[in-house]
């Protein structure tokens, strides 16, 4: 079993069977041991630590709670034995009264520097808050929705409709194509200079994950893949993806070419990567993990310990 990707792992007991237990949820909200996981403007509350960051978790009775109605809370589950609630914090400015050593930060950039279980909790909270924000009206009839099941359902208020809306995920494939000795990486024109990454794209209706891998690689690089193998997956709440990572083998003598989406697509050797070109995605991404596993399978020094390694920000939609 490989180490879970950042934002993944058994970091939380979701207590899904208690979401409809209104008395449990009400008691948990009053419990001084319960915790709030605040999200403001899509940013997560973090606490500065000497060596990085930790999650900025607040007591459920923190003064911030007075400005948040129960309706906008989501019971995430038990984290380290304490019930946690995601809380969307409204307003143009960050709320007052927060501890001095905390601030709201972009989890995409900081997630890899937070303890693993806390990174998972923050990602889950972010995903739920963003999903709810996008589902304040019913997609079927347009009526307003209300929160139900401790925040995990948005229920249509139109009696004639009454549809329940559940959190949704957008699956995306991400794939490292190799010919054994070389890795196929591409770059978009808008990316910072020198940055390359693995091929990625959203799964479309009517195709399997494997179909999506073959299509995306062919569309973006002109390369036909032979074998497609599952590697690992990663929650990617920016805003609502599940990244499903694969490795694939290119057909012999495949010559990459870029399409409209990519500015360049080419083969890189381990020596290229060790020299600092290309610059790779952040280690928090499954893209980096895919490259790392391939690299380490044929290098004497692990990728993370390679002195010339250069990194850039993580992939985004
Ligand atoms: Zn409706």
Q: What's the pLDDT tens digit per position in 48-97?
A: 999 889 999 999 989 999 889 888 899 999 999 999 999 999 999 999 89
pLDDT at 296 over 60: yes
Mean pLDDT along residues 11-29: 97
- Regarding whether 237 and 294 lie in a shared domain, the answer is yes
Q: Is residue 86 part of a domain?
A: yes
Structural domain of 142: 136-167
Express each pLDDT in 101-139 by its tens digit: 999 999 988 998 999 999 999 999 999 999 999 999 999
Taking ligand 1, which is a single-atom ion, which protein residues have CB atoms under 5 Å away? 138, 140-141, 143, 156, 158, 161, 163
| Cβ partners under 8 Å of residue 257, min gap 6 | 221, 222, 265
Question: How many domains does the chain divide into?
Answer: 3
- Regarding whether 214 and 114 lie in a shared domain, the answer is no
Percent of the chain with pLDDT strictly greater than 90: 82
- Distance of CA 167 from the midpoint of ligand 1 (Å): 16
- Regarding whether 265 and 226 lie in a shared domain, the answer is yes
- Distance of CA 142 from the midpoint of ligand 1 (Å): 6
- Regarding whether 296 and 207 lie in a shared domain, the answer is yes
- Regarding whether 184 and 300 lie in a shared domain, the answer is yes
- Distance of CA 29 from the midpoint of ligand 1 (Å): 29
Q: Is residue 200 part of a domain?
A: yes
- Distance of CA 133 from the midpoint of ligand 1 (Å): 16
- Regarding whether 163 and 175 lie in a shared domain, the answer is no
How far apart are the two ends of the chain, measured CA to CA in Å?
29
49 membership: H or E segment, kind and range = strand 43-49
Mean pLDDT along residues 246-255: 94
Q: Is residue 316 part of a domain?
A: no
CA distance 248 to 25: 46
- Regarding whether 254 and 153 lie in a shared domain, the answer is no
Strand pairing category for 241-250 and 170-178: parallel
- Regarding whether 154 and 174 lie in a shared domain, the answer is no
């Amino acid at each position: 079993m490989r180490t879970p990707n950042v934002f993944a792992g058994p970091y939380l007991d979701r207590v899904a069977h208690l979401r409809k237990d209104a008395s449990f949820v009400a008691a948990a909200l009053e419990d001084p041991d319960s915790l709030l996981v605040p999200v403001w403007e899509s940013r997560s509350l973090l606490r500065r630590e000497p060596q990085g960051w930790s999650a900025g978790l607040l007591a459920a009775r923190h003064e911030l709670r007075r400005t948040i109605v129960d309706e906008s809370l989501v019971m995430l589950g038990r984290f380290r034995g304490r019930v946690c609630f995601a809380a969307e914090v409204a307003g143009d400015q960050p709320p007052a009264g927060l501890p001095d050593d905390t601030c709201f930060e972009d989890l995409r950039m900081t997630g890899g520097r937070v303890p693993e279980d806390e990174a998972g909790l923050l990602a889950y909270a972010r995903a739920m808050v963003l999903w709810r924000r996008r589902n304040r009206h019913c997609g079927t009839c347009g009526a307003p929705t209300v929160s139900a099941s401790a925040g995990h359902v948005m229920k249509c208020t139109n009696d004639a409709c009454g549809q329940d809306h559940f959190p949704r995920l957008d699956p995306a494939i991400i794939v490292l194509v190799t010919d054994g000795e070389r890795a196929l990486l591409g770059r978009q024109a808008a990316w910072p200079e020198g940055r390359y990454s693995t091929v990625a794209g959203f799964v479309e209706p009517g195709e399997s994950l494997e179909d999506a891998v073959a299509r995306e690689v062919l569309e973006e690089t002109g390369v036909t893949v032979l074998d497609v193998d599952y590697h690992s997956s990663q929650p990617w709440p920016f805003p609502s993806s599940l990244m499903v990572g694969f490795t694939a083998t290119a057909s012999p003598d495949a010559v990459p070419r870029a399409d409209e989406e990519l500015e360049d697509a080419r083969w890189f050797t381990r020596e290229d990567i060790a020299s600092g070109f290309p610059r790779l995605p952040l280690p928090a991404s499954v893209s980096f993990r895919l490259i790392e596993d391939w690299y380490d399978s044929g290098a004497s020094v692990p990728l993370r310990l390679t002195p010339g390694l250069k990194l850039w920000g993580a992939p985004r939609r």
